A = this chain, B = another copy of it.
Amino acid sequence: MKDEYNKLEVYIEKSMAYRQALALFEWDAQTIAPDIAMENTAKTIGILSNEYFKNMVNDEVKQLIYHLSDPKNQEELDFNQKAIVKYLKKDFDRLEPIPAEEYQAYSELSAKAMGVWVKAKNNRCFSDFEATLEEIVGYQKKFAGYRAKEGQKLYDVHLSDYEEGFDMEKLDLFFEQVKAAIIPLVKQVKEKNNLIDKSFNSLEYDIAKQKEFCDFIAEYVGFDKKKGVIAESEHPFTMEMHNKDVRITNHFQKNNLESGIFSIIHESGHAIYEMDIDDAITQTPVGCGTSMGMHESQSRFYENIIGRSEAFWVPVYSKLVETFPQQLEEISLKDFVKSLNKSEPGLIRTEADELTYSLHVMIRYEIEKMIFAGELAISDLPKVWNEKYQEYLGLTPANDDEGVLQDMHWAAGNFGYFPSYALGSAISAQIYYFMLEKMPFEKYLSEGNLSPIQEFLRQNIHKYGATKITGDILFEMMNEGLNAEYFIRYLTEKYTKLYNL
């Protein structure tokens, strides 16, 4: 068995090398590559993706994976090796049905798509992106079709990629539960909207100074610059090479202080997860966060539970005031923290408050369901998008850049990803209540001592990478699986207190 595993390991190491190369190309394209480079680089990315595909999807690998997946043949494998085999089996079953040429053609398309999306967004013009998105959706439907089990719906194939065990049935329930609690809260809050003034947030904030403060706050929350890089891109993201090279980006707006700060705390949460993964599994298929939902739980834990709490700002607010004295010297710590938690329906998902955020996710979830059910033509996307925003949030985008073009996810082909954001919020709230019982959480924050919090997350979640699935990690930690009630309790308590409801 050991021999068989060693044979498989050669393929694994090669595939991890291709993956790191492809990750580096993506990082590069989104941060510094010249404008027209992709005209040629797309070919390179296509070839490497194809090699990656062929390396893992072939008869010898299939045989090795299937052989090693059999419990009888796992005696000599250790815990990590078993997890790797399981992970590969899933990955193999996901890739194998897709013809290599189609996979390569799609890879070339998606390398170019990001540039098309950025341009269309800059031009505020969905129709510049429509044909490309049509192609992407075409491939994604086709691929999901190849992979779907009998009777399985196309969109469910995508959903289970991001969160094992989730499908439309479960998510419809989850969202209904959340919606039932949120809608009345949103209404009550709307009536008391004047209670919180955050107009100072849209004064002018020098971008170089924002950048300096954001770099500081990233390190403050635990982003280790010896193992990481911070750059800028159109849309903030995290990209891991391995546990000693994790990269995040930020995006600054002159008239929105909160945006840059909370983007960098969010991405730092993702990055800390990846940096904390065990040396023994980095550069293996399980050397990364276990699911998108779990990943988002960590980024949102840092962004919302930690970053929007008063205790967090106690040791660092004065530094922010020093950086922007003109804009902030008359704003008290309490008023600043209130402003961070103000709830107000808006058009941009990434700028949304915790309370309305899930509504943004629901809109995307409903649209994706329609696309994959064949109930929505791509050309109608902006219309449906705008209608839903009017219905859920009472607002209509003036342009596509603040509407249907705002997210990079569809350009990257990430359909089924958005629900993970809402699951992540729910998980983070659940972990929060658990941690309150285990440690003096608030005290740590107000003393500027975040390391026990990170250490707790590392020991209970991060270090395992993807050797365990989300549900198991949660259950082993808390003796309970995902439960939406904690999220509802969290939002209710928070906004009742904030707005004296």
What residues of chain A have their CB less than 8 Å away from a CB belonging to chain B? Answer: 13-14, 16-18, 20-21, 24-25, 28, 32-37, 39-41, 43-44, 47-48, 51, 225-229, 231, 241-245, 282-283
B242-A34 in contact (CB<8A)? no
A35 to chain B, nearest CB (A): 5
Q: Given the known A-B contacts A17-B48, A40-B241, are A228 and B25 also in contact in the complex, defined by CB atoms under 8 Å?
A: no
Does A44 lie within 8 Å of B32, measured CB to CB?
no
Interface centre among A13, A21, A51 (most CB of B within 10 A): A21
Docked pose: A44 CA to B227 CA in angstroms:
17
Q: What's the nearest-Cβ distance from chain B to residue A305, in Å?
A: 27
This chain: copies in complex: 2
Given A25-B21, A25-B24, A229-B32: A244 and B43 interface contact (C-beta under 8 Å): no
Q: Find the residue from A16, A37, A226 having the highest chain B CB count within 10 A.
A: A37
B13 touches A242 (CB 8 A): no
List 10 additional A-B contacts (Cβ < 8 Å) besides A24-B28, A34-B226, A34-B245. Answer: A21-B48, A28-B28, A32-B229, A34-B225, A34-B244, A35-B226, A37-B241, A40-B282, A40-B283, A44-B283
State the Cβ distance, A21 to closest chain B Cβ, in Å. 4
A30 → B minimal CB distance (Å): 13
A58, chain B: closest CB distance, angstroms: 15
Most chain B CB atoms below 10 A, which of A28, A34, A228, A231: A34
Q: Which residues of B contact A227 (CB under 8 A)?
A: 34-37
Least distance between A358 CB and chain B CB atoms (Å) = 35
8 cross-chain pairs, A with B, having the tightest CB-CB distances, nearest first: A37-B245, A17-B47, A40-B242, A21-B21, A17-B44, A20-B44, A35-B226, A36-B244
Complex interface: chain B residues within 8 A of A39 (CB): 244
A50–chain B nearest beta-carbon distance, Å: 9
Does the CB pair B228–A34 fall under 8 Å? yes
Provide a sorted-by-A list of 20 A–B residue pairs whose CB atoms are within 8 angstroms: A13-B43, A13-B47, A14-B47, A17-B43, A17-B44, A17-B48, A18-B48, A20-B41, A21-B24, A21-B44, A33-B229, A33-B245, A34-B226, A34-B227, A37-B227, A40-B241, A40-B243, A40-B282, A41-B241, A44-B283
Nearest residue, chain B, Cβ from A28: B24
**Residue of B with least CB distance to A49:** B17
Chain B residues within 8 Å of A41, by CB:
20, 241-242, 245
Bound CA span A24–B41, Å: 11
B contact residues around A244 at 8 Å (CB) = 34, 36-37, 39-40
- By a CB distance below 8 angstroms, the chain B residues around A43 are 13, 17, 283
Which chain B residue has the least Cβ–Cβ distance from A37?
B245
Question: What is the distance, in angstroms, from A156's C-beta to the closest C-beta of chain B?
Answer: 34
Q: What is the CB-to-nearest-CB distance from A268 to chain B, in angstroms, rounded to a whole number? A: 14
Q: How far is the CB of A205 from chain B (nearest CB, A)?
A: 20
Residues of B within 8 A of A32 (CB): 229, 231
* A242 nearest in chain B by CB position: B40
Please measure, in the bound complex, the distance between the C-alpha atom of A100 and the C-alpha atom of B90, giving whole angstroms: 33
Q: How far is the CA of A242 from the CA of B40 in the complex (A)?
A: 7
Contact residues in B for A36 (Cβ distance below 8 Å)? 226-227, 244
- The complex places the Cα of A380 from the Cα of B358 at a distance, in Å, of 68
Q: Write out the residue numbers on chain B whose beta carbons fall within 8 Å of the beta carbon of A44.
A: 16-17, 20-21, 241, 283
A241 CA to B47 CA in the complex, in Å? 15
